[in-house]
Amino acid sequence: MVLGAGLSGVTTAWYLQQAGFGVSIVDRQPGPALETSFANGGQISISHPEPWANPGAPLQVLRWLGRDDAPLKFRPTTDPAQWLWGARFLFECLPARAHRNTAAIAALALWSGERLRELRARTGLQYDQLERGILHLFHTPREFAQAPARARQLERFGIEARVCSRAECLALEPALAAGAETLAGGLFAPGDESGDAFRFTRELAARLQENGANLHWDSAIRGLRSSPGKGIESVEVCDAQGRHSALRADAYVVCLGSYGPRLVAPLGERLPIYPVKGYSITAPLLDPARAPSVSLTDESRRIVCSRLGDRLRVAGTAELNGFDTRIRSERIRPILEWVNNRFPGAIDEQRVEPWAGLRPATPGNLPVIGRGRAPNLWFNTGHGTLGWTLACGSAAALAELMCGRTPPLSFPFRLPR
Ligand SMILES: Cc1cc2nc3c(=O)[nH]c(=O)nc-3n(C[C@H](O)[C@H](O)[C@H](O)COP(=O)(O)OP(=O)(O)OC[C@H]3O[C@@H](n4cnc5c(N)ncnc54)[C@H](O)[C@@H]3O)c2cc1C
């Protein structure tokens, strides 16, 4: 029984079903991917394994304090979990920790990319995907000067990326020409992709159902019942009419995004996950020729952009602000300005759909994949900024672990005791 039907839950159910398990999914929403997996940046960004927690981050966050348009914003609350997460984040900024985390994410991302391509070849799934790579853009010469070192680091992890001059960037993505005055150069990763995570998850959930999976929608999980020796015995749920019931399975996988830690805390499980809020806008194209089709990451502004069929998705910003999912106009404004400055006339501004979601983030951006304390409790959660990139690989790895096999990659999985 997979708890949660976002990217992590639905891919987990898929790989478990492929491995021969009978699967069911439980989610409080009326369908799949209606929370954080709904409108993310759309990037399969294997070329961005570096976590936010890196040696330069503490100073950068201090510089951004008090700025409403800061790419990473800390809004202090009275929640001790927020402060604990912040302290662990600082620990993960130590050079050795950041290096270890980057290497583990790179390994999982590469494996995940292979699993995604395999899944697509097998199912023929369509989700506005584009295999045109990701172009990382640098708008100051100082930032661009770091591009060769980043390319060499990626190469050491087996990830292809090449440094591009300004002219090469414009040749790769001609739509950049209209707003490229400040562009210093780029880093192009041809193996990266983009696509609509919501469509992908919805299509995959439909396949799961066709293959016999039980999908329980509108079922809010109130708690997990356990007993010593037996592990988890049932999941208490409440449906849309307020009726309570207990659902039972042999094993349970927690994929509940930012809400997982609260549900498993009574079992003595401490998941190091805290919500990091992000925003996106999605807009229909007014003039497709003015919009990019290569997926872009603006490294100077921490904004990403993906073409999803006849729409443009632009996402960014990170806010440590508890479980508040309200859309703040001062956080949407810089994203809109970014599109209008870089790609004037590309989108229909009258039909912009703003969105905010909570990234289920661990301090070092490493997801929790593997076994819980109870013998029949498993986790595949905490993918933070890279839940789309890492979805297929994490789920395939968990299925391997649940079959008693070790996934063939170097990653700190929570292994069976
Ligand atoms: C602005 C933004 C941009 C992003 N861009 C990218 C990107 O370009 N590339 C990338 O790789 N990643 C990106 N991400 C990250 C990615 O979207 C997330 O890591 C991913 O969606 C997390 O998936 P999940 O399944 O863990 O969580 P969710 O999608 O939130 O799924 C959790 C599910 O659990 C359910 N649930 C929770 N509590 C309960 C309960 N009590 N009872 C029943 N059900 C419950 C929810 O309804 C939900 O369906 C971005 C995120 C944001 C916010």
Nearest atom in ligand 1 to 389's CA: 11
CA 14 to chain centre: 18
Q: Which two tokens stand for residue 57?
A: 């981050």
- How many Cβ atoms sit within 10 Å of the Cβ of residue 125? 17
Closest Cα to atom 19 of ligand 1? 387
Nearest to 163 by CA among 149, 177, 142: 149
Using N-to-C axis directions, what is the helix angle for 391-402 and 95-123, rounded to 10°? Answer: 90
Distance CA 381, CA 37 (A): 13
Lowest mean pLDDT among 57-61, 111-115, 410-414: 57-61
- Identify the pLDDT of residue 399: 98
Q: Output the pLDDT for position 190.
A: 98
Residue of higher predicted confidence among 303 and 76 = 303
**How far apart are the C-alpha atoms of 234 and 276, rounded to whole Å?**
30
pLDDT in tens, 369-414: 999 999 999 999 999 999 999 999 999 999 999 999 999 999 999 9
CA of 148 to the centre of ligand 1 (A): 33
Q: Is the pLDDT of residue 214 over 90?
A: yes
Residue 326 region, left (φ>0) first, then alpha (ψ -120 to 50), else beta?
Answer: beta
- Ligand 1 atom closest to the Cα of residue 220 is 42
Counting runs of H as helices and runs of E as strands, what totals does the chain give?
Answer: 11, 20
Closest ligand 1 atom, residue 237 Cα:
42
What count of other Cβ atoms lies within 10 Å of the Cβ of residue 404? Answer: 7
**Residue 125 reports pLDDT greater than 80:** yes
Burial (0-12, 13-18, 19+ Cβ within 10 Å), 84: middle
Would you place residue 64 in the very low, low, confident or very high pLDDT band (cuts 50, 70, 90)? confident
Angle at 166 between CA 164 and CA 171, to 5 degrees: 80
In the numeric block, the tokens 């759309």 are attached to 42
According to CATH, the topology of domain 44-77+129-191+276-361 is D-Amino Acid Oxidase; Chain A, domain 2 (3.30.9)
State the average pLDDT over residues 331-358. 96
List, for residues 226-245, the tens digit of each pLDDT value: 998 889 999 999 999 999 99
Ligand 1 mean position, distance from CA 35 (Å) = 6
Collapsed DSSP state (helix, strand, coil) of residue 357: strand
Q: Is 417 a residue whose pLDDT tops 70?
A: no
> Mean pLDDT across the stretch 25-48?
98
Does the pLDDT value for residue 294 go beyond 70?
yes
The larger pLDDT score, comparing residue 57 to residue 153, is at 153
Q: Whose CA is nearest to atom 12 of ligand 1?
A: 386
Is the pLDDT at 321 greater than 80, yes or no? yes
pLDDT at 300 over 80: yes
Beta bridge partners of 189: 134
Q: Which residues line ligand 1 (CB under 6 A)?
A: 4-9, 26-29, 33-37, 40-43, 45, 220-221, 255-257, 259, 278-280, 304, 315, 357, 359-360, 381, 383-389
Least confident residue range of 62-66, 74-78, 130-134, 150-154: 62-66
Pocket probe mutation, ligand 1, options 381, 388, 394, max atoms within 8 Å of Cβ: 388
Write down the pLDDT at residue 416: 59
The percent of residues above 90 in pLDDT, for the chain, comes to: 89
Instruction: Please state, in angstroms and rounded to a whole number, the distance separating the CA atoms of residues 43 and 391.
Output: 12
Closest ligand 1 atom, residue 32 Cα: 49
Going by pLDDT thresholds of 50, 70 and 90, the confidence category of residue 261 is very high
Predicted pLDDT at 63: 80
Residues 6+ apart with CB under 8 A from 396: 11, 15, 111, 112, 115, 407
Please say whether the beta carbons of 169 and 229 come within 8 A.
Answer: no
* Per-residue pLDDT, 315: 98
Mean pLDDT of the residues in the chain: 95
Atom of ligand 1 at shortest range from CA of 256: 34
Mutate to test the pocket of ligand 1, among 108, 200, 259, 378 (most ligand atoms within 8 A of CB): 259
Instruction: Give the mean model confidence (pLDDT) for residues 130-138.
Output: 98
CA 92 to centroid of ligand 1, rounded, Å: 22
What is the mean pLDDT of the segment spanning 137-166? Answer: 97
Asked whether residue 62 carries a pLDDT value surpassing 90, the answer given is: no
Burial (CB count <10 Å: 0-12, 13-18, 19+), residue 86: middle
